[in-house]
Structure 1
């Protein structure tokens, strides 16, 4: 898959929920630039900050293309580990790497070393995937992947180690590119701190970073930065096999919703 600047900006816009524009020399020094930090917190926590009307992305400062990876035609099915846990590589997707190296005060050990490898290394975090939901969606879609008082397994931030879960349950954002005319899905690829994560007992493919009720915005930000760190945006072209309307998230009412609300998680 070939991704030019326009398609990258469109994919980021779909996740961020506000139109973003490309910054270049013609834009001017006074333009408001979206930082990687603000983007990550906005997509993870789900709260909307008072951003400028016009926001721009400086591609060189926002993306880290040397770590991009094309999984679209992945043929190697060999199992590998990250953070001492199975890592199912996102076959069929393309990763746009975000510039996160050197961003956190505890260093870059959480990312592990560069390059393809099957084994895990000490100190790196497991991989998980994170979709975002639209405001006003119903039931399970409304509360997963963002903090909220009615989260299914507890209040906090949800993710999954299996991208098929994120995709099949329609957590992926979708958009139609004005450049290519094609439709795409986008999801965040993260690393999650195993010491801060809980594994849901009845659904092992759901991981939770707890955020207690009444947590201040400052403390919530601290929890997020210590617990779950996106390092790439995954994009996939929608084919005829992918159901669901583009630009909307499809929800399904279930008869066991009250039972779902009682699921519990355990520290993993």
Structure 2
């Protein structure tokens, strides 16, 4: 599977619900703000807008890391894998667009583990989680509450799931203007195991009501980090 450059931006736009295009198309600095990986993720999971712009631009060289892209679309093996001492089922049928996160955090890159194929976890690695909904879908698996089948609500915070098929229930879909094809899109993250609560198929990072915006951002960045956007042709 080859992901057209324009489709990459359509996928980000679908996730955030706001148009996102490339800085390479000109000099849009006066027209709209640039969006970093951090800003994109914080807006997505915490509904914290850094501006009221209706369009954002990103610097592709600072946002994507294509050297770590991986095509799972024709994956045939079912080898058992572990990441962060948790089972990791590789996302068969999806293509991962890697985000540029290596060297980004002061505590280093151990949370990502080592690069390349391996079936085992390495020290300091965080397990993998997914979420697949945008801001208007917060009743699902992110931001405030997850409503279980019996109507119970669990705590306020950031929800994700280690089960891709569960996240897929809430995934965003879009039809590309460039290819005419329809795609699904989901975020792939790593989550710090010490910061999560396990609730059935979901992992919750608690964020108490009344927490300041600055503290919410600190909690998010120290607990859950994106490293890929998964896309699948329908």
TM-score by length of 1: 0.80
Please name the residue that 2:66 is paired with.
65
Q: Secondary structure at the match of 2:57?
A: strand
Would the alpha carbon gap of residues 134 and 54 (structure 1) be closer, same or farther in structure 2, given more than 3 Å must change? closer
Please name the residue that 1:207 is paired with.
203
Give CA deviations for 1:187-213 in whole Å, capped at 9, x if unaligned: 00000000001111xx2x211111112
Please name the residue that 1:227 is paired with.
223
Q: Does the alignment pair 1:166 with 2:163?
A: no
User: Quick one: which of 116, 136, 141 aligns to 1:144?
Assistant: 141
Report the number of matched residues: 229
Please name the residue that 1:15 is paired with.
15
Task: Measure the CA separation in 1 of the matches of 2:231 and 2:111.
Answer: 23
Q: CA deviation at 1:4?
A: 2.0
> Could you tell me whether the CA contact under 8 Å between 1:72 and 1:92 is conserved in 2?
yes
1:247-262 equivalences under 5 Å are none
Would the alpha carbon gap of residues 25 and 156 (structure 1) be closer, same or farther in structure 2, given more than 3 Å must change? closer
Task: Measure the CA separation in 2 of the matches of 1:52 and 1:236.
Answer: 28
Task: Measure the CA separation in 2 of the matches of 1:67 and 1:154.
Answer: 35
Please name the residue that 1:41 is paired with.
42
Q: CA deviation at 1:216?
A: 1.0
List runs of 5+ in structure 1 lacking aligned partners: 239-268
Q: Does the alignment pair 1:153 with 2:154?
A: yes
TM-score by length of 2: 0.91
> Could you tell me whether the CA contact under 8 Å between 1:144 and 1:152 is conserved in 2?
no
List runs of 5+ in structure 2 lacking aligned partners: none
Q: Does the alignment pair 1:128 with 2:129?
A: yes
Task: Measure the CA separation in 2 of the matches of 1:58 and 1:92.
Answer: 28
Alpha-carbon RMSD across the aligned residues, in angstroms, is 1.9
Task: Measure the CA separation in 1 of the matches of 2:130 and 2:146.
Answer: 22
Give CA deviations for 1:112-144 in whole Å, capped at 9, x if unaligned: 111111110000000010122452x6xxx6152
Please name the residue that 2:78 is paired with.
77
1:97-108 equivalences under 5 Å are 97-108=98-109
Q: CA deviation at 1:25?
A: 6.1
Structure ID, larger Rg = 1
> Could you tell me whether the CA contact under 8 Å between 1:69 and 1:94 is conserved in 2?
yes
Task: Measure the CA separation in 1 of the matches of 2:103 and 2:52.
Answer: 25
Task: Measure the CA separation in 2 of the matches of 1:230 and 1:215.
Answer: 22
Q: CA deviation at 1:90?
A: 0.8
1:81-100 equivalences under 5 Å are 81-100=82-101
Please name the residue that 1:256 is paired with.
none
Would the alpha carbon gap of residues 51 and 96 (structure 1) be closer, same or farther in structure 2, given more than 3 Å must change? farther
Q: Secondary structure at the match of 1:232?
A: strand
Q: CA deviation at 1:52?
A: 3.2
